Structure 1
Amino acid sequence: MPTSWQVCSLIVQTRTALIPAVSAQLNALPGCEVALSEAERGTLIVVAEAEHSRTLLDTIESVRNVAGVLAVSLVYHQQDEQSEETP
Protein backbone atom coordinates (compact mmCIF):
# COMPACT_ATOMS: atom_id res chain seq x y z
CA MET A 1 0.00 0.00 0.00
CA PRO A 2 1.48 3.37 -0.98
CA THR A 3 2.13 5.93 1.72
CA SER A 4 2.28 9.66 1.15
CA TRP A 5 4.36 12.30 2.86
CA GLN A 6 3.85 16.04 2.38
CA VAL A 7 6.13 18.82 3.56
CA CYS A 8 6.09 22.56 3.02
CA SER A 9 7.83 25.66 4.27
CA LEU A 10 6.09 28.90 5.02
CA ILE A 11 7.17 32.46 5.70
CA VAL A 12 4.96 33.87 8.44
CA GLN A 13 4.86 37.59 9.17
CA THR A 14 3.84 38.93 12.57
CA ARG A 15 4.52 41.95 14.73
CA THR A 16 7.94 41.79 16.37
CA ALA A 17 6.46 41.95 19.88
CA LEU A 18 4.32 38.87 19.15
CA ILE A 19 7.12 36.57 17.94
CA PRO A 20 7.29 34.49 21.17
CA ALA A 21 3.51 34.04 21.46
CA VAL A 22 2.99 33.26 17.77
CA SER A 23 5.96 30.85 17.77
CA ALA A 24 4.54 28.97 20.74
CA GLN A 25 1.13 28.66 19.08
CA LEU A 26 2.64 27.48 15.80
CA ASN A 27 4.85 24.90 17.53
CA ALA A 28 1.73 23.55 19.25
CA LEU A 29 0.05 22.75 15.92
CA PRO A 30 0.42 19.07 14.90
CA GLY A 31 3.20 18.60 12.34
CA CYS A 32 4.24 22.25 12.53
CA GLU A 33 7.60 23.64 13.67
CA VAL A 34 9.13 27.11 13.73
CA ALA A 35 12.54 26.45 12.22
CA LEU A 36 13.87 29.99 12.32
CA SER A 37 12.79 33.40 13.54
CA GLU A 38 14.04 36.86 12.74
CA ALA A 39 12.61 38.91 15.57
CA GLU A 40 13.75 42.30 14.22
CA ARG A 41 11.63 41.81 11.09
CA GLY A 42 8.74 39.83 12.57
CA THR A 43 9.47 36.90 10.28
CA LEU A 44 9.17 33.20 11.08
CA ILE A 45 10.20 30.30 8.86
CA VAL A 46 7.82 27.43 9.53
CA VAL A 47 8.03 23.81 8.37
CA ALA A 48 4.83 21.79 8.24
CA GLU A 49 4.45 18.14 7.38
CA ALA A 50 1.55 15.74 7.09
CA GLU A 51 0.63 12.40 5.63
CA HIS A 52 -2.15 13.77 3.39
CA SER A 53 -2.42 16.95 1.34
CA ARG A 54 -5.79 17.84 2.92
CA THR A 55 -4.18 17.68 6.39
CA LEU A 56 -1.34 19.90 5.20
CA LEU A 57 -3.80 22.44 3.77
CA ASP A 58 -5.70 22.42 7.07
CA THR A 59 -2.43 23.07 8.91
CA ILE A 60 -1.63 26.02 6.63
CA GLU A 61 -5.12 27.42 7.29
CA SER A 62 -4.56 26.96 11.04
CA VAL A 63 -1.31 28.93 10.75
CA ARG A 64 -3.22 31.76 9.02
CA ASN A 65 -5.77 31.77 11.85
CA VAL A 66 -3.25 32.13 14.70
CA ALA A 67 -3.81 35.42 16.51
CA GLY A 68 -1.11 37.90 15.53
CA VAL A 69 -0.28 36.36 12.14
CA LEU A 70 -0.31 39.08 9.49
CA ALA A 71 0.61 37.07 6.37
CA VAL A 72 1.55 33.53 5.33
CA SER A 73 3.49 32.71 2.16
CA LEU A 74 4.07 29.20 0.86
CA VAL A 75 7.63 28.99 -0.43
CA TYR A 76 8.18 25.24 -0.84
CA HIS A 77 6.08 22.09 -1.13
CA GLN A 78 7.12 18.49 -1.74
CA GLN A 79 5.06 15.35 -1.97
CA ASP A 80 6.64 11.93 -1.79
CA GLU A 81 4.78 8.69 -2.33
CA GLN A 82 6.42 5.46 -1.31
CA SER A 83 5.23 1.95 -1.79
CA GLU A 84 5.70 -0.58 0.96
CA GLU A 85 7.61 -3.56 -0.34
CA THR A 86 6.21 -6.97 0.47
CA PRO A 87 8.57 -9.92 0.81
Structure 2
Amino acid sequence: MLKFGKETVYLGSSIEEFARIRQLLDDSGIPCWYDITDREARWLGPGRGTTREVFIGPGSDPTKSKIYEILVKKEDWERALFIVRNKA
Protein backbone atom coordinates (compact mmCIF):
# COMPACT_ATOMS: atom_id res chain seq x y z
CA MET A 1 0.00 0.00 0.00
CA LEU A 2 1.23 3.50 -0.81
CA LYS A 3 1.40 5.61 2.31
CA PHE A 4 2.21 8.85 0.51
CA GLY A 5 -0.12 11.62 1.66
CA LYS A 6 -1.40 9.61 4.63
CA GLU A 7 -0.68 9.60 8.36
CA THR A 8 -0.96 6.78 10.88
CA VAL A 9 -3.75 7.03 13.45
CA TYR A 10 -3.27 3.59 15.01
CA LEU A 11 -0.42 1.08 15.03
CA GLY A 12 -0.72 -1.86 17.39
CA SER A 13 -1.56 -5.50 17.95
CA SER A 14 -5.10 -5.27 19.39
CA ILE A 15 -7.83 -6.36 16.95
CA GLU A 16 -10.44 -4.88 19.32
CA GLU A 17 -8.81 -1.43 19.33
CA PHE A 18 -8.30 -1.65 15.55
CA ALA A 19 -12.02 -2.39 15.04
CA ARG A 20 -13.10 0.33 17.49
CA ILE A 21 -11.02 3.01 15.79
CA ARG A 22 -12.12 1.99 12.29
CA GLN A 23 -15.76 2.20 13.43
CA LEU A 24 -15.22 5.64 15.01
CA LEU A 25 -13.63 6.96 11.81
CA ASP A 26 -16.39 5.43 9.68
CA ASP A 27 -19.11 6.95 11.91
CA SER A 28 -17.37 10.34 11.63
CA GLY A 29 -17.14 10.18 7.84
CA ILE A 30 -13.34 10.06 7.75
CA PRO A 31 -12.06 7.71 5.05
CA CYS A 32 -9.31 5.40 6.24
CA TRP A 33 -6.99 2.76 4.90
CA TYR A 34 -5.53 -0.11 6.83
CA ASP A 35 -2.69 -2.55 6.66
CA ILE A 36 -2.34 -5.84 8.54
CA THR A 37 1.09 -7.40 8.83
CA ASP A 38 1.56 -10.94 10.14
CA ARG A 39 5.08 -11.01 11.57
CA GLU A 40 5.06 -14.79 11.86
CA ALA A 41 4.05 -15.57 8.29
CA ARG A 42 7.01 -14.09 6.43
CA TRP A 43 8.42 -16.37 3.78
CA LEU A 44 12.10 -17.18 4.32
CA GLY A 45 12.71 -18.82 0.96
CA PRO A 46 12.50 -22.17 -0.81
CA GLY A 47 13.10 -25.05 1.56
CA ARG A 48 13.18 -22.83 4.63
CA GLY A 49 9.47 -22.21 5.32
CA THR A 50 8.03 -19.30 7.27
CA THR A 51 9.29 -17.52 10.37
CA ARG A 52 6.47 -19.19 12.34
CA GLU A 53 7.81 -22.62 11.46
CA VAL A 54 11.45 -21.75 12.11
CA PHE A 55 11.61 -19.21 14.95
CA ILE A 56 8.33 -19.35 16.88
CA GLY A 57 8.24 -22.01 19.53
CA PRO A 58 5.71 -23.21 22.04
CA GLY A 59 4.48 -20.58 24.44
CA SER A 60 4.43 -17.73 21.93
CA ASP A 61 1.34 -15.52 21.93
CA PRO A 62 -0.39 -15.78 18.53
CA THR A 63 -2.57 -12.73 19.29
CA LYS A 64 0.55 -10.54 19.20
CA SER A 65 1.78 -11.76 15.82
CA LYS A 66 -0.32 -9.33 13.76
CA ILE A 67 0.37 -5.61 13.55
CA TYR A 68 -2.63 -3.44 12.60
CA GLU A 69 -2.17 0.03 11.12
CA ILE A 70 -4.88 2.57 10.32
CA LEU A 71 -4.07 5.54 8.08
CA VAL A 72 -6.01 8.66 7.12
CA LYS A 73 -5.35 11.50 4.70
CA LYS A 74 -2.94 14.11 6.05
CA GLU A 75 -5.67 16.76 6.03
CA ASP A 76 -7.93 14.51 8.18
CA TRP A 77 -5.21 13.42 10.62
CA GLU A 78 -5.75 15.99 13.40
CA ARG A 79 -9.53 15.53 13.33
CA ALA A 80 -9.12 11.74 13.35
CA LEU A 81 -6.75 11.85 16.35
CA PHE A 82 -9.15 14.12 18.23
CA ILE A 83 -12.04 11.69 17.61
CA VAL A 84 -10.00 8.62 18.57
CA ARG A 85 -8.63 10.18 21.76
CA ASN A 86 -11.90 11.70 22.99
CA LYS A 87 -14.35 8.88 22.35
CA ALA A 88 -13.79 6.02 24.74
Q: TM-score, normalised by structure 1?
A: 0.40
Structure number having the greater strand percentage: 1
Q: TM-score, normalised by structure 2?
A: 0.40
Structure number having the greater helix percentage: 2
Quick check: which has more Rg, 1 or 2? 2
